[in-house]
Amino acid sequence: MNNTDVVLNEIIRNRFVSIADEMATTLVRTAYNPLLYEVQDFSITVMSPTGDMWSEMPGVMVFSQAFPHAVRQGIKRWGDNLSDGDVLIVNDPFETGTHISDTNVYMPVFHEGELVAFCGSAAHWADVGGKIPGGWCPDTTDTYQEGLCFRHQKLIERGVINEALWDLIDCNVRVPTIVRGDLEAQVAACRQGSIRIRELCEKYGREVVDRAMSAVIEQTHTAMSKAISALPNGTHSASIRMDFDGINRDGDFLVCLKTTIQDDSIRFSLDGTSPVAMGPINLPAPCTKGILASSIKGILMPLDPCNAGHAMCIEYDDLPKDSLVNPSWPAPTDSYGYIVGCLMELTFRCLADVVPDKIPAGCYMLTGAFLGKESDDENESTVVSDALHGGNGALFNDDGVTNQLVGNGDLPNNPVEVLETRHPIRVESLEFATDMAGHGAHRGGFGVRKKVTMLADDFSLNFVIENTKDTSAAGVQGGGDGKPGNLTINPDSNNPIVYRERQGALGPYPKNTVYEVVTGGGGGWGNPYERDTHAVLKDVSNDFLTVEQAAETYGVSLIKKAGTWAIDAQATSLLRAK
């Protein structure tokens, strides 16, 4: 390799990052579906002709880690029969790794007759024709109930639209206009990517581009090897138990993870994980491996643009066959996200003592109240997908934040003023649920408490939550666990009803029904008695803690002087000496 190529490699690498960015921009701005333009439930991936990741733009990080696997299945299916102008579609959960609502649309990119790259997007469709509108089926027992399945059919062949296939999609989804709009957005993103990749090949030559990205991947691999070599060799394990699978209340749903750091590699074993569940919490193998790779990448190289090199030091024992983390067709997978979150948490737990400065304590588990109603005389049909933020884990040197799930990354909440304008609901209050946070020298993030009045009749309500018995929000090094969330119907009435587990369609409720949803808190870090006394004083002044909690949990005694709190140093040292 000519040494000056190090510069060109860098230029080409940056170009691929910006190509993925341009594809994401095209997708978001063209989409019809709020899950894409508001909730960022998508991801872009650019790959080599053999399916190695060159660049990505998440969205949801696990989508792009699993995308190469799906494309390789497409290469296997079509062999030499991929042509310039083809656009393919796949959402078979056992190839894409997630659930059937996430549809991968990708394009082989040709330059001067040669295949030079693949680019595509994975996106959560507004509907895919399963038993429940919009996906999110909490109680399916096989893939067939979850929706229409694609395996690398050509949506467009040599630039010509495959009308029959598009027509078939129209006939099988509940909101064909929106799905078609999203599909067009996904195709537009592919086209944007392919134009830019061809320009790059035109300018530098396709061999140069390919060689540059191979070198970038190798460099990244070397840097990861170095980062892992710096860690002490050793084996760590952790496990977590799921509440239930959506169907079977008697089963045991244990997920086990063992990490072995050996010189410059990390090996994962998931032995001991429970057999495949009847209900849809199963996670297909590509995503099981993908989320573990994403976690390691994020822990060791959080700011690096991602490529295949970040996963090359990672090895896996054979995943236990027909288990929660390696189910086979047609096992249900629609609620795959809970185990994704758990595998991330387990990776953190295994490595918390190894790289404490790079890992948060446990995070709350996805909690949300999804409202829906059919149209009536006064109101149109409406769906309120209010995925709430909650407590993230504390850091070794700082308190945890109240934010989106760690695994979901960049997903904003819904403004109250927008919600009330769009839907017949009123938000009565939105505040920190301070009592949910795990205590510690550094405190976990707070949960969120949101109280909402339904301003129309016949709303039904789905309550989404997991890991309420064996929390995901575990404390670290003596820090307390975050508490799990809950849902209360009519909290201020004489007979409030409290739900602490996942619920399918509750209701329908009459107008003026109030619900209050609380999300879980994050885990704390370190012994609360080691918390800086001034931080405790600030917490009490800000109503994050009561003065009693300050004394009991944190060993800090406060007294009120002229209306403001102050530390009673003597009483505090007595308390803390205990």
Of 29 and 469, the one with the shorter C-beta distance to another protein is: 29
* DSSP conformational letter for 89: E
Instruction: Give the C-alpha separation, 331 to 247, whole Å.
Output: 13
Which of 75, 231, 278, 301 binds another protein (CB under 8 A)? It is 301
For position 38 contacting another protein by CB under 8 A, the verdict is yes
Please name the helix (run of DSSP H) or strand (run of DSSP E) that holds residue 385, with its range, or none: strand 382-387
Q: What would the two tokens of residue 562 be?
A: 């002229």
For position 355 contacting another protein by CB under 8 A, the verdict is no
Instruction: Give the C-alpha separation, 366 to 506, whole Å.
Output: 19
For position 79 contacting another protein by CB under 8 A, the verdict is no
Which of 245, 544, 549, 572 binds another protein (CB under 8 A)? It is 544
Which of 88, 155, 213, 216 binds another protein (CB under 8 A)? It is 216
Interface region with another protein, contact rule CB under 8 A, candidates 12-20, 66-74, 436-444, 550-558: 12-20
Please name the helix (run of DSSP H) or strand (run of DSSP E) that holds residue 393, with its range, or none: none
Shortest Cβ 523–another protein spacing (Å)? 13
For position 18 contacting another protein by CB under 8 A, the verdict is yes
Interface region with another protein, contact rule CB under 8 A, candidates 130-138, 268-276, 290-298, 461-469: 290-298
Interface region with another protein, contact rule CB under 8 A, candidates 160-168, 281-289, 294-302, 488-496: 294-302
Please name the helix (run of DSSP H) or strand (run of DSSP E) that holds residue 559, with its range, or none: strand 558-561
Residue 503 contacts residue 487 (beta carbons within 8 Å): yes
Residues 170-189 that bind another protein (CB under 8 A): 178, 181, 184, 188
How are beta strands 459-464 and 368-373 bridged, if at all? Answer: antiparallel
Beta-bridge mates of residue 90: 104, 151
Please name the helix (run of DSSP H) or strand (run of DSSP E) that holds residue 575, with its range, or none: helix 569-577
Of 188 and 247, the one with the shorter C-beta distance to another protein is: 188
Shortest Cβ 189–another protein spacing (Å)? 11
Q: What would the two tokens of residue 503 be?
A: 């619920």
Helix/strand/coil for 253: coil
For position 123 contacting another protein by CB under 8 A, the verdict is no
Q: Residue 396 contacts by C-beta under 8 Å, 6 or more apart in sequence?
A: 356, 357, 359, 442, 525, 526
Residue 551 contacts residue 539 (beta carbons within 8 Å): no
* One-letter amino acid for residue 294 of the chain: S
Of 358 and 576, the one with the shorter C-beta distance to another protein is: 358
Shortest Cβ 543–another protein spacing (Å)? 6
Residues 477-506 that bind another protein (CB under 8 A): none
Shortest Cβ 573–another protein spacing (Å)? 26
Of 25 and 460, the one with the shorter C-beta distance to another protein is: 25
Residue with tokens 């066959």: 321
Residues 433-452 that bind another protein (CB under 8 A): 448, 451
Which of 142, 252, 317, 431 binds another protein (CB under 8 A)? It is 431
Which of 114, 353, 376, 410 binds another protein (CB under 8 A)? It is 410
Instruction: Give the C-alpha separation, 511 to 370, whole Å.
Output: 17
Shortest Cβ 107–another protein spacing (Å)? 16
Shortest Cβ 82–another protein spacing (Å)? 24
For position 511 contacting another protein by CB under 8 A, the verdict is no
Of 138 and 193, the one with the shorter C-beta distance to another protein is: 193
Of 7 and 577, the one with the shorter C-beta distance to another protein is: 7
Interface region with another protein, contact rule CB under 8 A, candidates 89-97, 221-229, 311-319, 513-521: 221-229
Instruction: Give the C-alpha separation, 575 to 556, whole Å.
Output: 7
Residue with tokens 């330059």: 111
Interface region with another protein, contact rule CB under 8 A, candidates 34-42, 164-172, 462-470, 527-535: 34-42
Interface region with another protein, contact rule CB under 8 A, candidates 95-103, 138-146, 318-326, 540-548: 540-548
How far from chain centre, in Å, is Cα 505?
A: 24
Interface region with another protein, contact rule CB under 8 A, candidates 241-249, 329-337, 369-377, 427-435: 427-435
Within 10 Å of residue 358's Cβ, how many Cβ atoms? 16
Interface region with another protein, contact rule CB under 8 A, candidates 253-261, 279-287, 414-422, 567-575: 414-422
Residues 237-276 that bind another protein (CB under 8 A): none
Shortest Cβ 328–another protein spacing (Å)? 30
Helix/strand/coil for 494: coil
Of 3 and 494, the one with the shorter C-beta distance to another protein is: 3
Of 273 and 294, the one with the shorter C-beta distance to another protein is: 294
Residues 303-332 that bind another protein (CB under 8 A): 303-304, 306
Q: Nearest-CA neighbor of 186 among 198, 194, 174?
A: 194
Q: What would the two tokens of residue 235 be?
A: 């084996």
Interface region with another protein, contact rule CB under 8 A, candidates 222-230, 233-241, 246-254, 467-475: 222-230
CA quadruple 274, 276, 280, 281: dihedral, nearest 10:
30
* One-letter amino acid for residue 299 of the chain: I
Q: What totals of helices (H) and strands (E) does the chain contain, helices first?
A: 13, 24
Instruction: Give the C-alpha separation, 53 to 485, whole Å.
Output: 38
Interface region with another protein, contact rule CB under 8 A, candidates 66-74, 137-145, 300-308, 553-561: 300-308
Of 152 and 449, the one with the shorter C-beta distance to another protein is: 449
- Give the total of residues touching another protein (CB under 8 A): 85
Of 541 and 573, the one with the shorter C-beta distance to another protein is: 541
Residue 427 contacts residue 455 (beta carbons within 8 Å): no
Of 303 and 577, the one with the shorter C-beta distance to another protein is: 303
Residue 348 contacts residue 360 (beta carbons within 8 Å): yes
For position 402 contacting another protein by CB under 8 A, the verdict is yes
Instruction: Give the C-alpha separation, 386 to 391, whole Å.
Output: 16
Helix/strand/coil for 41: coil
For position 55 contacting another protein by CB under 8 A, the verdict is no
Q: What would the two tokens of residue 448 be?
A: 């969120």
Residue 349 contacts residue 473 (beta carbons within 8 Å): no
Instruction: Give the C-alpha separation, 324 to 326, whole Å.
Output: 6
Shortest Cβ 381–another protein spacing (Å)? 12
For position 124 contacting another protein by CB under 8 A, the verdict is no
